Amino acid sequence: MHQYYLQRLFPAIKDVTYLNSCSYALGNIKAQKAIETITNEWVNGQFDFMKAESYGEIARDYFANFIGVDKHEIAMTSFLSNASGLIANQLSPTVDKNIVVAECEFASNYYPWVQLKNKGYEIRLVKPHNGILDLEDFNKLIDKHTSLVAISAVQSSSGFKIDLKSLAQIAHKNQALIFVDASQALCAVPLNAKELEIDILASVSYKFLLGVRGQTYMYIKDELIDKFKPMTPGWRAGKNPMKSFYGPRVEYALGASKLDTSLSWFPVAGELASFELINEIGLENIYKKNQTLIEYTIQSFEDHNIDYQKYPEENCSTIFIIPVKDEEKIKNRLFDNNIEASFRQGKLRIGMHFYNEKEDIDRVCQLLK
Ligand SMILES: Cc1ncc(COP(=O)(O)O)c(C=O)c1O
C-alpha cells in the first residue's frame, strides 16, 4: 500500500497523525466527492431519492460480503442502539431467564440489555480484569437459562478482542443467542460471521468501515430471521419498499430487510464510496497492514518501556490503551504535535488503521517517553 496512494485518498495524513479511527474514521476524498455530488444534485433540484435508495442496496451487498454472509441476512438502520434495542425489545417477559453481558460494554450495547430487568431477566455482568474478558467468567455465568450473550468483538474502552468463536460455542451449548457489536472490529481485524458462528451482529459504519455517521448494519443468521418482527416498521420494511408507501396492505420483506428503517440518503452516498474504496484496496490487504501496525506498536512500546494495557497476541486489536499520569499535559502535547487521539476513562486510546504508518507510532513513542 503505497504512501503516495494513501495520501491522495486521505490528504490529512500529510499533516496530521490520525490515531482516532476508533472514534470516527478519517475522511477520504472519494466519500467527500460522493457527498458533494449528491448535495449538488439536491441544491440543483436534481436529487433522485430512488438513486440514493439504490446506493443503500449496493452498500448492503458490500457489508454482507465484508462479513461473509448473504445480503438477505442484513438489515439497515441508523444507530447501534437501534439494532441492539430492536433485538432486546422482542425478548419475551420471563421469570427465570438471564442475559449475560460484559459490564464494560459501550452503552449502546449495554443499556438495551440491562433494561430487560423490567421484563424479569436477571442481568449477569462479566467483569474485565485489566481489560481482559476471561472466557471462563462467561462460562460460569452462562447456563441453560441464558437467553442471550451480548459482547463487542473489540472493546471500545480497552481494545480487547475476544475469542468470538469460543464464546459463541459456550452460548450455543446452552441454547443461548450471541449478539455481537462489531463496531470497533469490522474492517480493522478479520471477522467472518459464519465462521465465528455468530447469530446476530451489528456495526456502525463510521469507524473502521470509513462510513459517515448515520448508518448501522445488522446481520441476522438466516434461521433466526423469522424469530424477529419489525418493531418500528416504515415503508422500507415492505416486501417491495417502492410499492409500500401507503396502506391498506401490509406485506413485510421476507429477509432481514423487514427490520430496515429509512435510509439516511447523504451518508449512504458517502459510505458507498468508502465501501467501494475498501473493496478496491482489498480487505485482506487492509488486515495485513493493520497486523503489521499492531506488531510494530507492541514492539515499539516494549522497546520504549511504555506502560500500556497488554493482552495475549490473539486478543490484540488496532486499539491500544496507555495509562497516563497527567491527561491534560498529554492532551496538550498531542495537540502541539498534530496528533489526533482520544481519551477514555483517563487513559490515552489510540486507534490505528491502514492509512497509518510506523512513523505515526514512533511519534507517539517520542511523545510518551
Ligand atoms: C462498540 C461501540 N458500539 C457502538 C458505538 C456507537 O453507538 P451508537 O450508534 O448507538 O451511537 C460505539 C461508539 O463509539 C462503539 O464504540
Q: Which of 78, 79, 80 to mutate to test the pocket of ligand 1 (most atoms within 8 A of CB)?
A: 80
Q: How confident is the model at residue 369 (pLDDT cuts 50, 70, 90)?
A: confident
pLDDT tens by residue, 302-316: 999 999 999 999 999
Question: What pLDDT, on the 0 to 100 scale, is given for residue 174?
Answer: 98
Helix, strand and coil in the chain, % to nearest 5: 45, 15, 40
104-124 pLDDT, tens digit per residue, is 999 999 999 999 999 999 999
pLDDT digits (tens, 9 = 90+) for 260-319: 999 999 999 999 999 999 999 999 999 999 999 999 999 999 999 999 999 999 999 999
Cα 6 to averaged position of ligand 1 atoms, centre (Å): 26
**Which 3 state secondary structure label does DSSP give 122?**
strand
- Span from the CA of 106 to the centroid of ligand 1 (angstroms): 6
The pLDDT value given to residue 238: 95
For 49-279, CATH number out of 3.40.640.10, 3.40.630.20, 3.30.430.20, 3.40.50.150 equals: 3.40.640.10
Residue 79 Cβ inside 6 Å of ligand 1? The answer reads yes
User: What CA–CA distance (Å, rounded) separates 155 from 279?
Assistant: 25
Identify the pLDDT of residue 208: 98
C-alpha cell read off for 328:
491534560
Sign of CA dihedral 252, 256, 262, 268: negative
Residue 219 burial class via C-beta count within 10 angstroms: exposed 0-12, middle 13-18, buried 19 and up: buried
pLDDT band at 220 (very low <50, low <70, confident <90, very high): very high
Q: Hey, CA dihedral for 112, 118, 124, 126, is it positive or negative? A: positive
pLDDT-derived band at 176 (thresholds 50, 70, 90) equals very high
246 alpha carbon to ligand 1 midpoint, in Å?
Answer: 33
Say whether domain 3-21+282-368 belongs to CATH 3.40.50.1820: no
CA distances from residue 122 to 125, 136, 348 in whole angstroms, order as listed: 10, 19, 34
pLDDT confidence band for 3 (50 / 70 / 90)? confident
Distance in Å, CA 22 to ligand 1 centroid? 10
Average pLDDT of the residues of the chain: 97
**What one-letter code names the amino acid at 74?**
I
Intervals of CATH 3.40.640.10 along the chain: 49-279
The atom number, within ligand 1, closest to the CA of 154 reads 1
d(CA 144, CA 126): 17
Does any ligand 1 atom lie closer than 6 A to the CB of residue 81?
Answer: yes
Q: Is residue 75 within 8 Å of residue 257, measured between CB atoms? A: yes
Asked whether 80 lines ligand 1 (CB < 6 A), one says yes
pTM above threshold 0.95: yes
Q: Is there an atom of ligand 1 within 6 Å of 204 CB?
A: yes
Q: What's residue 269's pLDDT?
A: 97
Q: What is the pLDDT, as a whole number, of residue 1?
A: 76
